[in-house]
Structure 1
């Protein structure tokens, strides 16, 4: 009885294996003849019978890949790669992941592909820039941070501002000779300068001796023309203090002073009338037109420990202090204001929600909206403060004690802007909503896909350093691509007018743009799929229409190879249309190779000639 049972078990195993191989063999024949739609059905039957292995998963994935069915291709590639596959499978999975916007995982698959085929040009391109991850600009991240090599390391350096003539001024406690501050047991602050070269390097700092006293001097601000400086100074140096007899103390406050450049030296130093022995006035910042001076003070009628204020400036005449209000100031400490050329106020605050200690915020005076934290690219859980930016020279600086001592850091502005697509009907000028808009980068990667709203618009945050195109498609309209104009930070509106597709039908054919394929490949690409969707829409609108797909190559390569390549491409094109719900009886395909050139050029073809010869035709078959 045991022998009979074993025999039956063996018989079941053999017949099951035989059934699986026959089913897979049928699917493979359909796949090899480019009948991907039917091949998918056959492979899915193997899966349903629980007979599939990783080979079947890979074949399913490849079938969907050829038809540009990204979602299903991704699903089956993932299952196939549970075991090691050939290099091309990793490459194709990477392309699918990129189309899904999953660039981190795509790069990992390309890493594997590149290790397996290091001499493949696609692998070389990846290895040249392995961390390339296209994505929308992070509008919350406006600066990249780098260190500078002028910091003392042991003593405080902070409050750096860069003049338009590339002179970097800052304050430091690095001069250890002389008196020390009794409150901090540190040397007094002095003003220093360093010359910034064209490549961004900073010279060895030099003390600005004519501005420094034996007490605190700085921080400071420079006028746009570099001829006027406002700086903070301890009142002791001017004899401006209060005596507390019982403690034998002389208590001075910080005040703001004005200096002018005279024959290469700072002189003509004058105290501002807002200075007081009762409160501190410090951290000055002058507007680019020289008419408004911002500063920090704990003067009466503020909102917190110290606030940001402003006064008008007209020569040596100054207005009354004005508090900037609750959109800037809090019940905590606000200080170190800096007003940029584009009217953005940067300041440090301990009273707003942040990452810890002092954080740097910005307040757009043009919009008068809420203050915004500069984010964790700039701010840490320590004190971050004294932010300045020179928009003309495109460089900023700020200070932080994240290393344990106050140091200066470089803040490199990230240029980004919003590109806004406005989509309308070209004939009627009607606004088009629910239009599919794809943002594509210079490497033809899909960065993001969105739909237009009821106003016919959608927008993307993009980087100034890259080139972009938006591809716009809607059922019933011709797909169109539009270049995004270069910008230095200003928003860009792209007027994307779409043509209705009915003009594409002639007596003899449906006129589509070229269906692009990868070099030497026959799988449908993203751009090809978007164009073929127009044919699908037309055939659904005209249910009696029958189409012959004729695919042509250029004159390069051997005639026999070109013919076979064009046949594969014609069949892939037909299969894509069938996969979108068009009856296969309404379609036929024929590869023409290079037998019917549009431009007769042969050995002396230009790139443009070749592009015109590489084409697909969609001929209407008359019964």
Structure 2
């Protein structure tokens, strides 16, 4: 499984960085090989708690937490690991990676620095440390895309390297259909699948029984495929793989004899030639290679078909290639999409874009979240109008391993009418009114109160009814707390709302979320202010409080955490509430204070409460 992508190991960020499992016992090794990480966690914890486990077991436990996307638990384990005298300095680097996932960029940077003090020549670690600054600067950018699962393709196994073949989608997977309902894991060698508009499956087994295929591309002009293939050489220990080569095949072909080798005069025999991508109506081929004249690792090259032969390849140059692996080229949108581990980014391999003008390439630009993630992101391929597909092992989506995801270019809804009650008319042709709910949170909390769930359920029902609308959920905090805490908390608030919408039936492919950190609004429609004259655990004491104020004001009882607030007034601004508070304090000698509420629930720190919330941005997926 972990050799699914044959040129480089991609299964997780930590495997690609070189984290090796330490031997513990046969049962544990078996569970890891079977990817039963939760059970492996149980085996480790049977030996003790985090405070008592050995360094070896802590490293194994941290690995399992990462593989199950339990990054908070992994953070606790690695914070313990780096305090152990016998712990490897490598654990500082892994701890820094986990802190990046948690949005703690400054802390991550400090641990990269500690690691680099002992390993000053680790260029990759320097790039990851630079990523901390980039991610900090990118954290509040408005997303231009929404990402969701390609559910018809994805399974708990690996799916990767999509290409379009007229109306069909071609991809690789290491699963095999057992019967009409169930897929099973085949082995480490991927099959090549065709997914057509009728949702049927077929495989090119005459290729994958002989070769390990790591990518493919189709040219609609010449009607031919190009495959990245490695010959499988069986031996007593199983099999080995020959160097990667590119082979062409006409679409009408259905046998191994129809494959022809991509070659040029003087092509080195000991180099990997992989990841083909057609350009210029099939007369130019981009590919990746580790030829000795490159910048390092795998570089991107291109060759032109002239006078019946392929020309000597040209390196795409320093605007594209780095000292590390530059992979998965895709030609689209007048430029080159590709993945690299040699530039700052979110994860191990991020997707970048370079505009092409003849033989010139512009400086590459990171496509940022949500296209890029803290995993590996590869092969951004145009699918349909305003849609792409991408292969990724990101933890926040997918069914397991690498999956294929939709990427939809967003078009923000321009309100035709915006009413005071937040009703937005989506467009003039289809008068669909959306009322976006308001959801507020307590200090340091991200769970959703029941009072807000009714509005959220109504919103979900409307989204389900209008399937061309997607939503981006933006989480915010007030200005208390550190920058790192606010970044994480705002993301958790947005995620909790996204999870609730999914639970209500909104497809995950139409939902994105992002934590935006601190908000500093001072007013909001629908937000109410009150004077609190008492807070107790009992909600049956209104009569007693009425006697305290000589029945001069009406009292409303509202919940607040595990208490009840006895409130006077219902004001749309805090200044009116403050004036009444002064009068009550002077007349009745009562210590009172101001609170705020929304939908009948009190919220602490009224001057900041409106900023502890989520906002909703609506998009038309298929708009121009």
Report which of the two structures shows the higher radius of gyration computed on alpha carbons. 1
Sort the TM-score into its range (normalised by shorter chain).
0.3 to 0.5
Normalised to the residue count of structure 1, the TM-score between the two structures is 0.39
Normalised to the residue count of structure 2, the TM-score between the two structures is 0.39
